[in-house]
Amino acid sequence: MRRNPVVPYALIALLGILAVIVISVIGLDQREQIHQAEEGEQTEEGGESSEGESSEGETSDDPEAIFKSNCSSCHGADLSGGVGPDLTQVGSKLSEEEIHDVIINGRGSMPAGMATEQEAEVLAAWLAEKK
């Protein structure tokens, strides 16, 4: 008796489909966990900022928080660069006023208006210390 030559391929296809289903279930679970964690962070941030600031113009005086929300996607979470230039030693290259001008008006591929005036002042002072 001869074996059916399609059986090994059918088993491989079945295992592949099973793997896709298992990975999808794991991914959905992780997505829900990430969503819950983000909701928790927003709740904490909302509780802290409601003391003296209006909900319309929420700004932070924490330069790292401003950087994380506005700049890290291009300049990297550790200031090491990526799409944008390395900012680890930007204070040795530009003055605080020049940094502020770049944040407000943009330069090269960086668009203007990435931060409010207050956020730009806080970021410029913080980045000017990076030497």
CA distance 89 to 79: 9
CA distance 125 to 91: 9
| Cα distance from N-terminal residue to C-terminal residue, the chain | 79
110: annotated binding-site residue? Answer: yes
74: annotated binding-site residue? Answer: yes
> CB–CB of 60/49 below 8 Å?
yes
Q: Which amino acid is at 126?
A: W
Alpha helices by DSSP H, listed for the chain, are: 7-49, 63-70, 72-75, 96-105, 117-128
CA distance 102 to 123: 11
75: annotated binding-site residue? Answer: yes
The binding site comprises 71, 74-75, 110
The binding site for heme c comprises 71, 74-75, 110
